[in-house]
Amino acid sequence: MLWTIIPEEIVFEGIDEEYIVTKEIVYQGVLMKVRPCPEADGVVIERLISSDPQVFLRQDLQPGTIIRHAI
């Protein structure tokens, strides 16, 4: 039992969905979250983790980019 005014349908929405497994790696000196991409024999960049604004401007490190042979 939950003690909330929010309906159960909203609280439990998406509870049965499969979660994407991500892991953190360092690639070219940049920490990032990636997810496996077996079709391309590598990983897909999900998120960059950096305090350097220049890292986010790099075209080769944009989210969605596939890094081959990175596993």
* pLDDT, tens digit (0-9, with 9 covering 90-100), for 9-68: 898 888 877 778 899 999 999 999 999 988 888 999 999 999 999 999 999 999 999 998
Burial label for 32, CB within 10 Å (0-12, 13-18, 19+), is buried
User: What pLDDT score does 61 carry?
Assistant: 96
Q: What is this structure's pTM?
A: 0.71
Domain boundaries, the chain: 17-68
* 8 A C-beta contact, residue 35 and residue 43: yes
* Residue 71 confidence (pLDDT) above 60: no
